[in-house]
Structure 1
Amino acid sequence: MMSSDLPAYRVRVSSRARHVRIQVSAEEGVIVVLPQTVDPASVPALLWKKKAWLDRTLSQFEGLQHQPPLATQETSPTLICLRAINQQFYITYHKDANPSLHIHTLGNRLLLRGHVTHYFLVKQTLQRWLTEQAHLHLPPWLETVSKEISLKHFKTIIRGQRTRWASCSQRQTISLNHKLLFLPPHLVRYVFLHELVHLVHFNHSPRFWTLLTHFESNCRSLDQELRRAGHYVPAWAERR
């Protein structure tokens, strides 16, 4: 069924429906669900009221269609290991007609529901979840280390930097990469110490290393280990 300038759509009459619903998915396109009391002839007028939203939503699916499906791209994870906090999360995927993707946490299990067959959406959803976990765990941990060595910073920001584990600004704001959660705890602590010492020496001068060595005698070795730590980070967590 079509009306000029409207996208193709199908009408589904449901005895359970109490209100008109418009569903959009990559697999089925536009479906209008009608209660039995609503005349199907009214559908074009209803769709015209939602045309801007329909055009915007359908254009998003056009972009997804140019991406290879999950089977030809990287494989979505079934297990996430957050070494920094000694936690593992098992992932279950449930595909339904929802064009978006939602994540639910059930203890140490994650349930992803919706358009799970596209790696790009899975990746974005898991990265948002990772950022939430980082907000939950990393700032309190940094605060504890800060108190231990009596170096106080102003603010903590969680980001997803591509090339840095963390950074410290001259305004005493420390930015932490959410990917730190994949590292072993001793490396995360070293990153915290490194950035906190930058509050005193905003460089990598000999005085910086002297102070850092005062707090961590093995800092040079840890610095080299951190440079090789990228292998801990799974592909889905990388922003490209």
Structure 2
Amino acid sequence: MTAAPAPLPPLQVRESARARRVSLRVSATAGLEIVVPRGFAHAHIPAIVARHRAWIDAQWARLVALDRTLPARLELPATGEGWELLRRDGPQPRLRRQADALVIAGASDAEARVLLRRFLMAHARLRLGECLDAVATATGLRYTRLSIRAQRARWGSCSARGAISLNVKLLFLEPALLRHVLVHELCHTVHLDHSPAFWALVARHDPDWSTRRAQLRAIAARLPPWLDV
């Protein structure tokens, strides 16, 4: 007898005016997200899912197997901050920040992870913004706007208009690695590609950039699993 296939993760389809092709993403919080160009015929979605079913099942199984237990203490090496994580009963899910603790009340484990990620997104907007401003001042490089995202693979990006996007996970890097990423993205405000001129500018402001780049690749696998979004 052939075993029945594992159930699909929760599915949501999102249309994007910026999308030029169909893309699939599997995450712990959103399940299976399929991004399609505006006006894409949704009747094609089942065939797309079937074609990528093996990849979807493998990604979902990996996420389910991860230990998503929240730590007893939250440490942010990038900024040198840390708080005890305290769980309390309560009528509804809520996170409250105290001087030396983050109190999560009325929340299941899954809800607690969502609350903590929301806190980190807001905190990253403030702290990473301060760090980016400091590096911009030190290097003389300027950007136009900052946004914070929670991506699995990319540490940051820069648009042709000088708008920089940073990954909330940068909070979990050591300061030297954070600065490397900030220098990298700020240099893209001058050279949007990865040309020799770009790397020369990076080297001017971050002489150890090649070492830092290798360290970044190694550290990605050691980030807390509950950060996956």
TM-score of the superposition, structure 2-length normalised? Answer: 0.68
1:109 equivalent to 2:98? Answer no
Residue of structure 2 aligned with 1:192, choices 182, 185, 189: 182
Aligned to 1:81: 75
1:88 aligns to what SS in structure 2?
Answer: strand
Q: Which runs of 4+ in 1 moved over 2 A?
A: none
Give yes or no for contact 1:201–1:208 (8 Å, CA) kept in 2.
yes
Aligned to 1:10: none
Higher-RCO chain (CA-CA 8 Å, sequence separation at least 6): 2
The sequence identity of aligned pairs, in percent, is 33
The alignment of Structure 1 onto Structure 2 pairs a total of residues equal to 164
Give yes or no for contact 1:73–1:119 (8 Å, CA) kept in 2.
no
Give yes or no for contact 1:153–1:172 (8 Å, CA) kept in 2.
yes
C-alpha RMSD of matched pairs (Å): 1.5
Greater Cα radius of gyration, structure 1 or 2: 1
Aligned to 1:62: none
Matches within 5 A, 1:27-106: 74-96=68-90, 98=91, 100-106=92-98
1:233 to partner: Cα distance: 2.2
Give yes or no for contact 2:67–2:226 (8 Å, CA) kept in 1.
no
1:111 is aligned with what amino acid? V
Task: Give the gaps of 5 or more residues in structure 1.
Answer: 1-71
2:184 is aligned with what amino acid? H
1:169 equivalent to 2:159? Answer yes
TM-score of the superposition, structure 1-length normalised? Answer: 0.65
2:99 is aligned with what amino acid? G
Q: Distance in 2 between matches of 1:212 and 1:150?
A: 13
Q: Pick closer, same or farther for the CA change 1:131–1:160 going to 2, 3 Å.
A: same
1:125 is aligned with what amino acid? L
Give yes or no for contact 1:131–1:178 (8 Å, CA) kept in 2.
yes
Aligned to 1:124: 114
Q: Distance in 1 between matches of 2:150 and 2:133?
A: 20
1:144 to partner: Cα distance: 1.2
Aligned to 1:224: 214
1:238 to partner: Cα distance: 1.2
1:101 to partner: Cα distance: 1.1
Residue of structure 1 aligned with 2:202, choices 190, 209, 212: 212
1:112 to partner: Cα distance: 0.6
Aligned to 2:146: 156
Aligned to 1:203: 193
